[in-house]
Structure formats: C-alpha cells, structure tokens
Structure 1
Amino acid sequence: MRSFFYLRKIKYTVCFFLVTFSSFVFSEDDLKIVTLGTSLTKRGNWVASLENVLGKYKSANVNVLNLAISGATSNEGVEQLDELLEYKPSVVLMEFSVNDADYFRGISLSKSLNNLDYIIKTIRADNEDVTIILMIMNPVYGIRSWIRPMLGEYRYRHMLLARKNNIEYFDFRPRWMDMYEGNFKKVIPDGLHPTSRAAESVIVPVLKGLIVNKCLN
C-alpha cells in the first residue's frame, strides 16, 4: 500500500514537472519572430545576432524562425504563409524588393504589390496584433543594380503599400550611407550581399529598437 502511494506521488511529481517545463518552453508570452525574404536575410548572420541581442533584453525568451530563401521572390513568401501562421509569431520581418525587381528572375510590380498585400492581410486576419516590419535592406551597385532597372520603383511602391496597410517600414539605405559611404566595395563586395559584420552593425540596432518598443516594454 505504501509503495502504491509512493509511486503515485512520483507520477504526479513527474507530470507537474513536464507541464511546468512545457509551459516554460512554449509559453505564449515568448517573443516569436518570423523572417521572410531573400538571401539578404538568409545570409549574413544578422538574424541570429538579433535573436541573441533581444534574448539579453530583460531576459526575454526569444525564438526566431528564419524562412528566408536565397533567390526567393514574394511568390515564395505567399507559399510560406501556412508555416508562418502555424508558428504564431509576435513579429514578422519581411523583405522582397531586391528579388521581385530582378529583370530575369523577378516578378512584375503589380504581382509584387499584390503578394505583399495578401501576406499582410493574411497575417492580420489570423492575429491583428502581430507587428509586421517591411524592410528595404541595403544599396545595390554594379551589375547587380543593372539587372534591376526598376528597383527604385519597387522600393517606393513597397513603402506606399506599408503606409496604406499601417505596418512598420524601415529603409536601411540611409544608415548604410551614414556608416559606410565610400567603403561599399569593402562591405558589399559583390554589389548586393553585405558582409556579416557590416550587416549586423547596420540592421540589428534598428530592429532591436523597433521590436523592444513594440513588444518588450
């Protein structure tokens, strides 16, 4: 009889531990971030750096799901919506202008705008409290710029779309100019992809400020 109650006590102790541990790991209060975009988000290590920096702020439990794909356009962003919604993010970071505007592998401006609008509205329909940040990443020069003759128009229209949908928008190019003007060949050696260190120095402080202000204060 005594052994029965002893085993029962162990059972409830283990169950309590598992429930408590599960609540800690998968708490709805965790800050979950999803990134959608191109190689400018997939590469460069700034996403991991952002996760680390945010995790040190008030000991927040931060988890980032990086869905960015090298070579992706906003078509891929639309296809990833089910996976994104299943993750239940608090924040979505998104950038597609540089590949949508590619003359050879991109998509039309109207298709780009329709895709982004659909992504934003689908996320909002699932959870209207999600913070969505549409980003313009970095200057593009040389042949990488030549094959994107309408990139400026895509960027401008993406900005207008962000305003129309009342989401956050940030263009990192002025910050790149302030920090690295005259050194782009060193920090963006192929004309498109920044070095990891440079990308972290430009992007992470800005996104940390935006996300802390929106979600962690």
Structure 2
Amino acid sequence: MMCLLLWRTAPTARRPAYGLVLFLACLVMFSAVKNGHADSPQPLKIVAFGTSLTARGGWQPALETGLSVCLQRPVKVESVAKSGETSLWALTQVDRVVAAQPDIILIELYANDATLHRFVSLAQSRKNIGEILDQLRQRLPQARIIVMAMNPFSGLRGLIRPFADSYVSAHQTEAEIRGLEFVDHRPNWERLTPDDLARAIPDGVHPLPDVASKIIAPELAKRIAGNNCGE
C-alpha cells in the first residue's frame, strides 16, 4: 500500500525515472516485513531443560518479562522438561533442544538423579551431563549454556536425596571444565527464614511458582543481561 501511494504521488513526468528505485525499495520493505525485521528485533530464545523444577517451576514468564525490559527486545522461554525424569531421559531429548535453536540453554538435571530409588549413580550422572553438554556445544556452538542448581530440599523429599549436594557439585564441575556457566540459586533461597522457606516449598522440593518467580527469575536476568538487570 505504501509503495502504491508513493507511485501515485510522484510527479507524472518523473515516474519512469522513479520506477526502478521504487521497485527495489519496496522489495526490501516487503522482505523485512515478511521476515519480522521491520519494526522489532528477533526474540531472544531460551530453552529451559530439566525436571519438574522447570516443568512445574512457573518462573519462566517472570524471566521473559524481566529480561525483555532489561534488553529492550522480546524474550521467549520454552521448556523441554518432565517431572520425575533423570539425566538418562535428558539424553534422549537433546534433539528437541537443538531443534528449538535457542540462544541460551538453562539446564537443571541433577534433582532426580540424586534420589535413592532412581538408581542413577553419581558417576553415571556426571557422565550423562557431560555427554549432554558436549552434544549441545557441538550442535549449537553459538548458544550460551548455563547449568543451574535450584532450591534446597527438605522433609521426606530431602531424605531420599541424601547426596544431592554431591550431584550438584558433579554437574557444576562438568560445566566448568568445559568453560560453561553455573548458577547456584540455593543461597538466595537460604536467605529466607526457616518458616518462610517452609511455606515457599511446602512439599520440600517444588517451590510455589510466585516465590520461584521472585527468586530465580531476577538472578537469571542478572546473569544473562548484567548486574543492573533483575534489581
């Protein structure tokens, strides 16, 4: 419509001279609109890869909003996550993460490995996360990969994970020896009083989404966009 208006308003005597230039300009405009570049930048795409702490986390919308404000661009967070699953399952899901072509990958895959009844040894868990990280680095070389430790566990859910800290340390080590980032959210949770922490994580493992949004999202926004973000 804009191209037609320009053509109609051009002086009649000069229309032949304007023709080629106008055609090329309109072609560029059409291409930009078709590809979504005309008015806004492409969204920053994030994939959150993990367990129920991601699948049921509820912190993703807050991260989208906070980062979008900081970066002044759209942000989209997708999840590849399933409750009750381990790093063995995650090995079968790498294709899904790669297919999303994310700019950033957030990974938490230790929580169910650490449960006694899943029978994923510490050595196996460390091997699995290493293979996952290697595949992602190879297949998504431009993506920023951030391995995470989430919230503390308590009650029965904590008792069945007596060596959870060792699993976190193993995943952290595998990230750091590859030069990847690691974010530990647990200190921010532990700043809550014992009563507030118990109310925030009533079943001992899954935080309430509104509290998770206030603790996890700002920390991630700060790590991704800089120290002035998320405050």
Distance 2:37 2:82 in 1: 30
Name the residue aligned to 2:106: 93
**SS of 2:111 mapped into structure 1:** helix
Distance 2:95 2:88 in 1: 13
Q: 1:14 offset after TM fit, Å? A: 9.8
Distance 2:185 2:36 in 1: 37
Name the residue aligned to 1:71: 84
**SS of 1:53 mapped into structure 2:** helix
**SS of 1:170 mapped into structure 2:** strand
Distance 2:68 2:41 in 1: 16
Residue 110 of structure 2 is aligned to residue 104 of structure 1: no
- TM-score (ref. length: structure 1): 0.84
Residue 203 of structure 2 is aligned to residue 190 of structure 1: yes
Map 1:153-168 to 2 at 5 A: 153-168=166-181
User: Aligned pair in 2 of structure 1 residues 20, 141: CA closer, same or farther (>3 Å)?
Assistant: same
Residue 96 of structure 2 is aligned to residue 83 of structure 1: yes
Q: 1:165 offset after TM fit, Å? A: 1.4
- Contact preservation (8 Å) 2:133, 2:175: no
Q: How many percent identity over aligned positions?
A: 34
**SS of 2:191 mapped into structure 1:** helix
Distance 1:76 1:28 in 2: 35
Cα RMSD after superposing both structures: 2.8
Q: Which runs of 5+ in 1 are unaligned?
A: 1-12
**Letter of the 1:73 counterpart:** T
Q: Which runs of 5+ in 2 are unaligned?
A: 1-25
**SS of 2:64 mapped into structure 1:** helix
Name the residue aligned to 1:48: 61
User: Aligned pair in 2 of structure 1 residues 166, 181: CA closer, same or farther (>3 Å)?
Assistant: farther
Distance 1:135 1:57 in 2: 21
Distance 1:124 1:77 in 2: 15
Q: Report how many residues are paired.
A: 207
Q: 1:174 aligns with which of 178, 187, 203?
A: 187
More helix by share: 1
After superposition, what is the alpha-carbon deviation per residue over 1:57-80, rounded to whole angstroms, capped at 9, x for unaligned? 343121221111111211222111
Distance 2:60 2:201 in 1: 18
Q: 1:15 offset after TM fit, Å? A: 10
**SS of 2:54 mapped into structure 1:** helix
Name the residue aligned to 1:4: none
Residue 62 of structure 2 is aligned to residue 62 of structure 1: no
**Letter of the 2:48 counterpart:** T
Name the residue aligned to 2:137: 124
Residue 43 of structure 2 is aligned to residue 30 of structure 1: yes
**Letter of the 1:147 counterpart:** I
User: Aligned pair in 2 of structure 1 residues 88, 170: CA closer, same or farther (>3 Å)?
Assistant: same
Q: 1:128 offset after TM fit, Å? A: 2.5
**SS of 1:111 mapped into structure 2:** helix
Distance 1:143 1:132 in 2: 32
- Contact preservation (8 Å) 2:145, 2:180: yes
- Contact preservation (8 Å) 2:41, 2:74: no
